[in-house]
């Protein structure tokens, strides 16, 4: 759909799909599946978020359990696309093995790659992350790489051939929001050839809107929704925030000015 803006220009309102490797998504909010008080709350939150792609920690589920009430079966039955992840891996070797197990069990080349450096900060081990990304891409995987907010590491992951690069806003589960928007802005400026998804640290809807206003292609949210007092309401709030932030980015914000400028014209004032 097109509308005419204040300058008489035709503006495309409907957004194009988010394309990550073979994926074509019509929502820019990716969801996690852990930490909910119960399964029904998770399903209600996913629906409220308008989710299409849901990430699942392979090391924390039983891949052999395909009963009707298993997590994988529930997600499949409700029409969600599963994105396996390597959460809990501390070396490239572990991450590659977990990805290969996920591919065999779930028949997908998609993998969200996480290689963690320690238990306290859960920050990525960059050396092991780059090593694992290289091996998985060479093995035919579609890699969405979770990383720190370092522009150089993000550029290296993009150059390796990752389908998406996913810098953190702040440490996993902290809810601290965008602690370094300057670096996130640099990453967006440096990388325009690969989808960028803000992953980890989102605490509430306004954080998601801020990430999208920086020009990011999407956000992945888990704890901000699953650990909210009312997860389903928060899922709806984050959904709208992502949409609003995306629209604001596409609209183009007004310039920042150090001094005030009146919104009404000075010419033609009474008495002048």
Single out the catalytic residue among 7, 112, 131, 156: 112
Residue 174 counted as domain residue: yes
Which CATH number characterizes residue 187's domain?
A: 3.20.20.70
Domain contains 103:
yes
Residue 64 designated active-site: no
203 labeled binding residue: no
User: What is the pLDDT, as a whole number, of residue 5?
Assistant: 57
Q: Could you give the CA distance from residue 64 to residue 129 in angstroms, rounded to a whole number?
A: 27
pLDDT the model gives residue 73: 84
Q: Is 109 annotated as a binding residue?
A: no
Range of the domain at 182: 23-251
Per-residue pLDDT tens listing for the chain (272 residues): 455 555 555 555 567 999 999 999 999 999 999 999 999 999 999 999 999 999 999 877 666 666 656 888 889 899 999 999 999 999 999 999 999 999 998 899 999 999 999 988 999 999 999 999 999 999 999 999 999 999 999 999 999 999 999 999 999 999 999 999 999 999 999 999 999 999 999 999 999 999 999 999 999 999 999 999 999 999 999 999 999 999 999 999 989 888 888 776 666 566 65
- The number of CA neighbours under 13 Å toward the Cβ of 98 is 27
- 173 among annotated binding-site residues: yes
Number of domains in the chain: 1
Residue 1 forms part of a structural domain: no
Task: Note the pTM of the prediction, 2 decimals.
Answer: 0.87
Asked whether residue 260 is domain-assigned, the answer is no
Pairing of strands 53-57, 18-20: unpaired
In a domain, 148, yes or no: yes
CA pair distance 174, 179, nearest whole angstrom: 11
């Amino acid at each position: 759909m097109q509308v005419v803006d204040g300058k008489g220009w035709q503006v495309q309102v409907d957004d194009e799909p988010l394309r990550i490797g073979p994926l074509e998504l019509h929502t820019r909010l990716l969801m996690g599946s852990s930490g909910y008080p119960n399964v029904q709350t998770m399903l209600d939150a996913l629906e409220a978020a308008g989710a299409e792609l849901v990430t699942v920690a392979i090391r924390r589920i039983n891949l052999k359990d395909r009963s009707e009430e298993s997590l994988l079966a529930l997600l499949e039955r409700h029409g969600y696309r599963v994105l396996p992840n390597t959460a809990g891996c501390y070396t490239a070797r572990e991450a590659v093995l977990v990805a290969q197990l996920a591919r065999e069990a779930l028949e997908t080349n998609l993998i969200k790659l996480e290689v963690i450096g320690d238990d306290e900060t859960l920050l990525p081990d960059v050396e092991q992350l780059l090593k694992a990304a290289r091996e998985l891409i060479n093995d035919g995987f579609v890699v969405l790489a979770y990383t720190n907010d370092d522009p150089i590491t993000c550029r290296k992951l993009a150059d390796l051939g990752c389908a998406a690069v996913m810098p953190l806003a702040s440490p996993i589960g902290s809810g601290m929001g965008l602690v370094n928007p300057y670096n996130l802005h640099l990453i967006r400026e440096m990388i325009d050839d690969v989808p960028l998804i803000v992953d980890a640290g989102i605490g509430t809807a306004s954080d998601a809107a801020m990430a999208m206003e920086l020009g990011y292609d999407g956000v992945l949210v888990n704890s901000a929704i699953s650990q909210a007092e009312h997860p389903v309401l928060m899922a709806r709030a984050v959904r709208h925030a992502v949409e609003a932030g995306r629209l604001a980015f596409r609209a183009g914000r007004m310039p920042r000015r150090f001094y005030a400028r009146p919104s009404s014209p000075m010419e033609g004032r009474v008495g002048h």
